[in-house]
Homo-oligomer: A and B are copies of this chain.
């Protein structure tokens, strides 16, 4: 990361001023006063081999991310969300927040929801599958909700602390497994017991810990799928058994990197539609002012919250 940065990559706010005619995806003009969000990823080139031949825009080498890979050293400086104002460069993909969706409700999705949508796309759940989710941070929780809307009959959420597992249960998980209470072998045993001895049809990793891999592979049934979406930073190597975990299992493993406009777009569409069904406020444990940002980060580090919102 090109420090100093202004953190905050998923944001919502009011358009103060706009240069020229900027259309949204449906061809409507964005106007000042509109409440909008935008795709944090910018400068995807649509001109390189990854963009045009592999059609894998999340691996475009030119992409930059607001609040992460834009430095606040470079003019116009205001390139992150933990701020009172933010400057949107030309070609940033802007999306109007529908009138009936409160900005705070949108933030209940935050960056976790587009990531979860991408993971669900990759998971390709069959109707009546049982899905195991490793991790109960915001990404894991959203995946547990989406899995049931995308074909899963049953879900198992593994994680800690109990605050978050309770939330998972409220959001519809059939069983939760507290990783502070059960060791790895017991956890695999629980998932197998829940699936007539076979293991989950699809397991989705959303933990960030390399140790989740061998455990996740063990708890997935033969000819199942294992989706890896939580390994966003390099936390080192882990040992797996190629014969037992992959080849003999005839398993499919899919990594999930980044998200693109289609994920953000559907996050907004989904939140707008489903806010009547789910109380989106429940995702947000705390709202903090900008000058409490440090405390907010400490809360996250100590897993004291599900999600904290920073507001200027």
Which of A's residues lie within 8 Å of B, judged by CB?
23, 25-27, 46-50, 52-56, 58-59, 93, 117, 120-121, 126-128, 146, 148-151, 153-154, 196, 198, 210, 213, 221-223, 228-244, 246-258, 260-262, 265-266, 269-270, 273
* Given A151-B151, A262-B55, A250 contacting B241 (CB threshold 8 A): no
Interface residue from B149, B240, B251, B255 paired with A237 (Cβ < 8 Å):
B240
Question: Which residues of chain B come closer than 8 Å to A228, judged between CB atoms?
Answer: 242, 246-247
Tell whether, in the assembled complex, residue B255 and residue A251 are in contact, meaning their CB atoms are under 8 Å apart: yes
When distances are taken between beta carbons in the complex, the residues of chain B under 8 Å from A261 are: 52-53
Whether B249 contacts A241 by the Cβ 8 Å rule is: no
Contact A25 B53 (CB under 8 A): yes
Q: Tell me whether B55 and A55 are in contact (CB under 8 A).
A: yes
Contact B127 A222 (CB under 8 A): no
The residues of B that contact A46 with a CB separation of less than 8 Å are 46
CB distance from A95 to the nearest CB of B (A): 10
Docked complex Cα distance between A222 and B49 (Å): 11
- Assess the A262–B53 pair: CB atoms within 8 A: yes
Q: Which residues from B are CB-within-8-Å of A154? A: 273
A30 to chain B, nearest CB (A): 12
Distance (whole angstroms) from the CB of A69 to the closest CB of chain B: 14
Determine if B213 and A242 form an interchain contact, defined as CB atoms under 8 angstroms apart: yes
From B53, B229, B249, A255 is in contact (CB under 8 Å) with: B249
Add 17 more A-B contacts to A149-B149, A238-B239 (CB < 8 A): A25-B48, A26-B48, A26-B196, A50-B223, A53-B262, A53-B265, A56-B222, A59-B223, A127-B146, A128-B269, A153-B273, A210-B242, A232-B247, A249-B255, A249-B257, A250-B256, A252-B253
- Are B240 and A52 in contact (CB-based, < 8 A)? no
Chain B residues in 8 Å Cβ range of A53: 25, 261-262, 265-266
Inter-subunit contact A240/B240 (CB<8 Å)? yes
Between A50, A54, A93, the greatest number of chain B beta carbons within 10 A of the residue's beta carbon is seen for A54
The 3 closest A-B pairs by CB, nearest first: A231-B247, A56-B223, A250-B257
The answer to whether B242 touches A248, judged by C-beta atoms less than 8 angstroms apart, is no
Q: What residues on B are CB-neighbors of A238 within 8 Å? A: 239-242
Instruction: Assess whether A52 is in contact with B153, with CB atoms less than 8 Å apart.
Output: no
Q: Which residue of B lies closest to A269 (CB)?
A: B128
Neighbouring B residues of A127 by C-beta, 8 Å = 117, 120-121, 146, 149-150, 266, 270
Residues of B contacting A221 with CB < 8 Å? 54
A-B contacts, 21 listed (Cβ < 8 Å):
A25-B47, A25-B48, A25-B53, A26-B49, A46-B46, A47-B93, A49-B196, A52-B93, A53-B262, A53-B266, A54-B222, A55-B262, A59-B222, A121-B126, A128-B269, A150-B151, A228-B242, A235-B242, A238-B239, A238-B240, A251-B255
Q: Which residues of B contact A242 (CB under 8 A)?
A: 210, 213, 228, 231, 235, 238
Closest to A212 in B: B242
A260 nearest CB across to chain B (Å): 8
